[in-house]
């Protein structure tokens, strides 16, 4: 018996990349776009999405050390690892481009 190969449709890969990136960035999948390029069995992914960020005034935002570039780098690394895990493909690169910010308000009662 020989091992088989699974083939994942490009549209399914893009949808999966959108879902994984949206989760990593803390935003809705509808606000996230993805482009997947296949290169000899490995994939490269480009994500365009807003990023969930805490308000600046609450002390946990950009001024407290959680900068936008760190947030994007972490989301790219998480997306890369999760896509590789789910698809079994080598993910050579994930580029994340922020298109805006979604401020996550924490309300205290």
Q: Which residue has the tokens 């807003």?
A: 50
pTM for the whole thing?
0.81
Structural domain includes residue 4: no
62 pLDDT higher than 70: no
Domain count, the chain: 1
Q: How confident is the model at residue 44 (pLDDT cuts 50, 70, 90)?
A: very high
Structural domain includes residue 38: yes
Is the separation of the CB atoms in 58 and 98 below 8 Å? no
How much is the pLDDT for 68? 87
Domain CATH code at residue 24 = 3.30.70
Percent of the chain at pLDDT exceeding 90: 60
C-alpha to C-alpha distance for 54 and 59, rounded to whole angstroms: 9
Question: In which domain, by residue range, is 18 found?
Answer: 10-103
Structural domain includes residue 49: yes
How much is the pLDDT for 1? 45
Structural domain includes residue 61: yes
Structural domain includes residue 42: yes
- Cα distances (angstroms) measured from residue 13 to each of 50, 80, 98, 105: 20, 13, 21, 32
70 pLDDT higher than 70: yes
Comparing C-alpha atoms, which of 8, 2, 4 is closest to residue 84?
Answer: 8
């Amino acid at each position: 018996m020989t091992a088989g190969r699974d083939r994942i449709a490009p549209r399914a890969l893009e949808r999966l990349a959108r879902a994984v990136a949206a989760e990593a960035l803390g935003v809705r999948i509808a606000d996230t776009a993805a482009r997947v390029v296949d290169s000899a069995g490995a994939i490269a992914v480009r994500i365009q999405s807003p990023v969930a960020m805490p308000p600046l005034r609450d002390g946990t935002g950009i001024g407290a050390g959680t900068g936008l570039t760190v947030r994007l780098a972490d989301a790219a690394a998480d997306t890369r690892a999760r896509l590789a895990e789910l698809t079994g493909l080598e993910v050579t690169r994930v580029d994340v481009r922020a298109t805006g910010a979604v401020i996550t308000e924490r309300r205290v009662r």
